[in-house]
Amino acid sequence: MKKSYSKYSAKDDLFWLILRPWIFIPRVLYILLTFIFLFLRILFQGNSKNKNVQKNLSKYLFDVITDLGPCFIKLGQALSTRPDLVRQDWLTELTKLQDNLPAFDHKIALKIIEEELGSPANELFEEFPDSPIASASLGQVYKAKKNNSYMAVKVQRPNLYFLIRRDVVILRFLGTFLSPLLPLNIGVGIGEIIDEFGKALFDEIDYQKEAKNALRFANLFKENPNIFIPKLEKQFSSKRVITTSWIEGVKLRDRALLEENNLIPSSFIKTCVISGLQQLFEFGYFHADPHPGNMFALKGGNADCGNLAYVDFGMMDTITNSDRLTLIKAIVHIINEEYYLLAEDFQKLGFLTKGQDLQKLVEPLKEVLGGSFGAEVGNFNLKNVTDKFSKLMYSYPFRVPSRFALIIRAVVSQEGLALRLDPEFKILKIAYPYIAKKLLTDNSEEILDILLEVVFDKKGQIQVEKVESLLNILFRDSENINSDLIPVANAGLKLFVSKKGSEVRKNLLLSLIKDEKLEFTDAKKLLALIRDTFSPLNIARSAVQNIISTV
């Protein structure tokens, strides 16, 4: 009989577990004692310089997380992507949490396949191995063969629904009970964050939902030559078994592994980050679990953008159109160092309450984010900002909206993955030019409104210095000039002469009038900036480079 799963409900699931004290009480005590022993061991051995001590400690940490089960493994996977937070010797062990966990009994896997798909594995496939090729938190993967093609058959771990339901309830109970004692000030009940985590996990164990996610994700990237999504094999997929085409690639685990396979690490970082930005700022639908076990570097591509494959679409999330546009505005306001407007963005997103005096936050925000794309950009990464924000949140009423829990997890995991491949990686060096290009080439009404806010102030006057800042961010290096100059010039010209460009033309004309007189100073500066940026020589170079890149 096939298993049917309910949706996550904090209230109903808590009631379910409280009615089973023989399960609830021993499990709570076991988790508490396990973490107490782990904390004591880290306290006494964490700073030891003895390599054997650290090796044994990292193994103990892996064993503890593995023993506690799927919920804790998921948390450990997020930690395993952060080389800036975790010691390298511990990180090496924690990386095993991604796809190198102890496998469950092969006979049980075969039984699940037969129950779910209606026939034994050896009848469904021409070849089916005696052991899995990878084993992760929620299932294990077999490399099977059908019609002379290899397939990845993922089989869910047994009893998973019960284990996750039990432990999410306990995590929520412990988190809510212990949050006043924890060194956290996230401004919102930690229970709400765990609720988001619980909903995502319940969705992740429904492989039919994962199949729909994979199809949707593949459709979003169908025009992108650098992103590959394995083909879903519907006839061999169900609620606890999912089968896709096999991906032959190298996991984005470490730089040396890529270089051994003659792959350029930086090219995959760029593809990874740009595709992540597209998910967040264009599609509003994103992969919430981008750890190295779920991403493969493929042959092909070029030195600038490598070919990248995504797998495992169980943990996905959406962002509303309103939040998406507000985030774009927030990045523009950081670029322009407009901290009051940035505080307004935080308020709209729910990080600040409606009654908060935003003027009081201008200087603190400037202290945290000031110079993020100026002289200090070389030192900018999410950890630096997080460290500063953690101090800020104790003094000011910032809160973390629960709907941003998976977004933050995805962005932090992705930056951590990039840092594994390049310790000097700075996410803003890719994110800022991406946002600048989007503003200058996207012809949607919403993006046009944001662009008008950059070009014109509230009085309708041209803000030449902000336009210059935007162009500098996009064209400050020769690579961007070569790849982006012509698309930006074309988009700008099309916008200016189009029906949508009427607002731009009107504002430009109004900006020429000051004190009832014609004033051409700012217009001349803007024309000079455009002339210098889009000079015939630059356009020619761009055209030649584009021709070379397509040959």
315 and 369 belong to one structural domain = yes
pLDDT tens-place string over residues 155-173: 999 999 999 999 999 988 8
- Mark which of 97, 124, 154 sits at the end of a domain: 97
- Side-chain-side CA neighbours of 135 within 13 Å: the count stands at 13
> Which pair of tokens denotes residue 9?
């409900």
* Residue 187 maps to a domain: no
**pLDDT score, position 551:** 47
For residue 134, the model assigns a pLDDT of 87
* Same domain assignment for residues 364 and 454: no
Three-state SS for 324?
helix
Indicate whether 479 and 389 sit together in one domain. Answer: no
pLDDT: is 34 or 82 the higher one? 34
> Alpha carbon 252 to chain centroid distance?
15
**546 part of a folded domain:** yes
Residues 6+ apart with CB under 8 A from 24: 17, 18, 169, 170
Query: What's the average model confidence in pLDDT over 338-364?
Result: 86
Average the pLDDT over each of 17-26, 34-43, 372-381 and give the range with the smallest value.
372-381
Residue, of 296 and 372, whose pLDDT is higher: 296
Domain check: are 344 and 417 in the same one? yes
DSSP per residue over 469-536, as a string?
A: HHHHHHHSSHHHHHHHHHHHHHHHHHHHHSSTTHHHHHHHHHHTEETTEE--HHHHHHHHHHHHHT-H
Average pLDDT over residues 120-138: 91
Are 310 and 456 in a shared domain? no
Residues 400 and 524 in one domain: no
Residues 6+ positions from 45 with CB-CB distance below 8 Å: 53, 54, 57
Tell me if 381 sits within 8 A of 423, measured CB to CB.
Answer: no
The number of distinct structural domains making up the chain is 3
Which range, of 127-131, 384-388, 398-402, averages the lowest pLDDT? Answer: 384-388
In a domain, 244, yes or no: no
Domain boundary, last residue among 434, 452, 475: 434
More confident site: 292 or 460: 292
Whether residues 385 and 518 fall in one domain: no
Residue 214 is assigned to a structural domain of this protein: no
Residues 342 and 461 in one domain: no
Average pLDDT, the chain: 79
pLDDT at 88: 67
Question: For the segment 49-90, what is each residue's pLDDT rounded down to a tens digit?
Answer: 888 888 888 888 889 988 998 888 888 877 666 555 567 677
Tell me if 143 is assigned to some domain: no
**Domain match, 38 and 72 both:** yes
Tell me what the mean pLDDT of segment 506-515 comes to.
Answer: 60
The least confident of 204-218, 315-329, 343-357, 436-450 is 436-450
Confidence of residue 377 (pLDDT cuts 50, 70, 90): very low
Domain termination site, one of 403, 418, 434: 434
Predicted local confidence at residue 485, as pLDDT: 55
Q: Is residue 495 part of a domain?
A: yes
Question: Given pLDDT bands bounded at 50, 70 and 90, which one contains residue 314?
Answer: confident
Residue 340 and residue 205: Cα distance in Å, rounded? Answer: 43
Instruction: Out of 203, 289, 312, 484, pick the active-site residue.
Output: 289
Is residue 496 located within the same domain as residue 422?
Answer: no
Kindly state the tokens that stand for 204. Answer: 């992740």
pLDDT band at 6 (very low <50, low <70, confident <90, very high): low
Q: Indicate if 312 and 371 belong to the same structural domain.
A: yes
Identify which has the larger pLDDT, 14 or 475.
14
Examine the domain organization and report whether 261 and 389 are in the same domain: yes
Q: How confident is the model at residue 1 (pLDDT cuts 50, 70, 90)?
A: very low
Domain with 48, as residue range(s), is 10-97
Is pLDDT at 481 greater than 50 in this prediction?
no
CA-only gyration radius of the chain, Å:
26
Among this protein's residues, is 289 annotated catalytic? yes
Report d(CA 428, CA 506) in Å as an integer.
33
CA-based angle 271:277:279, to the nearest 5? 100
Tell whether 203 is covered by a domain. Answer: no
